[in-house]
Amino acid sequence: MTARRMVRGIAAGALIALMLAGTTGAQDAAEWDRLPTEQLQQAAQSGSVDAQFALAVRYHNGRGVLQNFARAAKLFKIAAEQGHAGAQNRLGQYYYSGLGLSRDGGLALKWLAAAAATNDPQFLYDYAAALENGADGTSDPAKAAELYAMAAERGHEDATVSLGVLYQNGLGVEKDLGRALELYQGPASRDHARALNNLGLLYARGTGVAQDYERAVDLFSRAAEQGLTVAMTNLAVMYENGFGVEVNEPLATELYRKGGRGGDAGTRTIPVYDARLLAPDTSDEGLNLLRQAAQAGDPVAQFQLAWLLLQQEPAQFQDLQSAVWLLRQAAEAGLAPAMANLGILYFEGLGVPQDYALGHMWLILAGTAGMPDAISISSDLSARMSPMQINEAQEMAAKRARLK
């Protein structure tokens, strides 16, 4: 059996688009970010609003502390009530999503509006998106269009594209395909994925422009390369039907799969290795020594043996069960890569019943224990979860950490 490094195939995207913004300058924010957690906590407790915000961001990201949205929400609220615009924006996002506290559309709009009053383009965009999508159960596309336009004037490309969508559909503004086309073209020229996809749809349908399938394929391809799933699906339609390209049904099927159609919600996350560890010796003698060390309770050996078992394609049920047992032993001993991979197995339902909350819990603990990229993996996978499941996972992680 030959060991080989595995590359994760996780779709792009984050759990929520929460921007690190505030009333402090970039240099001040960087200084707070470099401060040890204990000193940052002391500064926050002494009443520094910037320290409160920085500490909340640290809990939100799980950098140097156990990721905890509920604790972050409390700190964002304290800073928001003192007028910190970045905290107001974050708190509004939390109320909008229901992360760390109970979802409340009215309070979401209140705090997002307070942050947007500073005319920061990101805050304007976030407030506009909440209004457009009906955070409080009602939609106000006209107000959203006004805010998107203000953010677009300040160079915010997501706002520019969103404004284009409103013009394309005649929502909150008079329908104007020429204006929509103009708004898409600038960001698309700079490879903005959503602008590329939307522009591609105009060319594919011949809406506001002369129909041009080849141009549409090029635009969809450039957006799909950036991981935009809707662009993958649109590109699949082109290959399935031979619009602008030769018919290619196998490629269309693969694109549909990656885009979330065809019975597969996306690319399966595969086990990851820790680059800080030497690759295991897979010679007969090396494997024998590895088994002996694993049986003796060496957590590194247990992780490495489990990782090798998971490399077999297809992995047999007995091997999956053995890998789960080995990873659990190493995870309980505190080995970060074992925690991360056990979390992945729970997310994918491999060798264990699928359980997003348990999977997210182990990935949170792995990130805190120092596993590179564990937090980013958990953020990607948490897109499958509800806010209630995420909050449950963080509560379990906090409880387990207290027991250590």
Q: Say which residues have a Cβ less than 8 Å from residue 100's Cβ, sequence separation at least 6.
A: 68, 69, 70, 71, 72, 73, 94, 391
- Alpha-carbon torsion 309, 313, 318, 323, what sign? positive
The pLDDT score that the predictor gives to residue 4 is 28
26-259 and 284-403: identical CATH topology: yes
**pLDDT given at position 5:** 28
Single-letter amino acid, residue 397: A
**The residue type at 270:** I
Which residues, given as ranges, of the chain have pLDDT below 50? Answer: 1-27, 262-266
Q: Give the HSE-up count for residue 306: Cα atoms under 13 Å, Cβ half-sphere.
A: 36
Instruction: Give the whole-angstrom CA distance, residue 43 versus residue 183.
Output: 45
Of 169, 173, 156, the C-alpha closest to 198 is 169
Measure the CA–CA gap between 269 and 356, rounded to whole angstroms: 13
pLDDT at 10: 23
Domain spans in the chain, listed from the N-terminal domain onward: 26-259, 284-403
Q: Tell me the C-alpha to C-alpha distance, in Å, between residue 117 and each of 80, 112, 129, 335.
A: 13, 9, 15, 46
- Model confidence, pTM: 0.76
Q: How far is CA 133 from CA 126, 142, 143, in A?
A: 11, 12, 12
Q: What local confidence, expressed as pLDDT, does residue 372 receive?
A: 74
- Contact, 147 vs 126, CB < 8 A? no
* Contact (Cβ atoms closer than 8 angstroms) between residue 111 and residue 131: no
CATH number, span 284-403: 1.25.40.10
| Under 8 Å between Cβ of 240 and 231 | no
> Which two three-digit tokens encode residue 365?
């603990």
CA pair distance 127, 124, nearest whole angstrom: 5
**Does the CA dihedral 71-364-391-76 come out positive or negative?**
positive
The tens digit of pLDDT for each residue in 191-248 reads 999 999 999 999 998 989 999 999 999 999 999 999 898 899 899 999 988 899 999 9
Locate the DSSP E strands across 254-358. none
pLDDT at 377: 87
Quickly tell me which residue has 């708190």 as its tokens: 91
Q: What is the pLDDT of residue 272?
A: 87
**What are the pLDDT digits (tens) for 153-201?**
999 999 999 999 999 989 999 999 999 999 999 999 999 999 999 999 9
- Residue 220 identity: F
Residue 28 has what pLDDT? 66
The tokens for 381 are 């996978």
What is the number of other CB atoms lying within 10 angstroms of the CB of residue 98?
A: 18
**At what angle are helices 317-332 and 299-310 packed, to 10 degrees?**
150
Model pLDDT, residue 24: 40
CATH 1.25.40.10 fits 26-259, yes or no: yes
